Amino acid sequence: MLSLVHLNLKVGSPVDEITLVIDQYTSQLESEQDDADKLNATTQADCDDQIATFNKNIGDFKRQIESLNIQITENTAILETNKKELAQAQYDFQETVKQIEAGTAQREQEHNEWAQKDYELSIDITTVEEGIRLVQHMLHGVSFAQVETKYNKIVEKLQTKGTRQILFKPLVSQLVQITSKFNYENVVKVLELLNNIRVGLVNEQTEARLQEEQAQKDWEKLLATLTAHKQALSDKIAQKQAAIASLTAVLKTDKKSLEDTTFNLSNEEENLADKTEACNAASVKYLTETGEREKQLEILARLQTYITEKLRPVQDYLDTRSY
Domain 36-275, classified CATH 1.20.1250.20, yes or no? no
Which of 128-132, 163-167, 215-219, 279-283 shows the lowest mean pLDDT across its residues? Answer: 163-167
The ranges assigned to domains in the chain are 36-275
- Structure confidence by residue, pLDDT tens digits, 91-126: 999 999 999 999 999 999 999 999 999 998 898 888
Confidence of residue 64 (pLDDT cuts 50, 70, 90): very high
- Structure confidence by residue, pLDDT tens digits, 6-52: 444 444 556 677 778 788 888 998 999 999 999 999 999 999 999 99
pLDDT more than 90, % of the chain: 59
Give the residue-averaged pLDDT of 303-315. 65
C-alpha to C-alpha distance for 98 and 103, rounded to whole angstroms: 8
Three-state SS annotation for 301-321: HHHHHHHHHHHHHHHHHHHHH
More confident residue, 216 or 179: 216
- Predicted pLDDT at 21: 79
SS3 3: helix
Confidence of residue 266 (pLDDT cuts 50, 70, 90): very high
- Predicted pLDDT at 269: 97
Three-state SS annotation for 122-191: HHHHHHHHHHHHHHHHHHCCCCHHHHHHHHHHHHHHHHCCHHHHHHHHHHHHHHHHHHHCCCHHHHHHHH
Q: Give yes or no for residue 165 having a pLDDT over 50.
A: no
State the CB neighbour count (10 A cutoff) for residue 63: 11
C-alpha to C-alpha distance for 212 and 117, rounded to whole angstroms: 11
CA distances from 262 to 1, 26, 65, 93 (A): 55, 54, 7, 44
- Predicted pLDDT at 148: 59
Judge if pTM exceeds 0.75: no
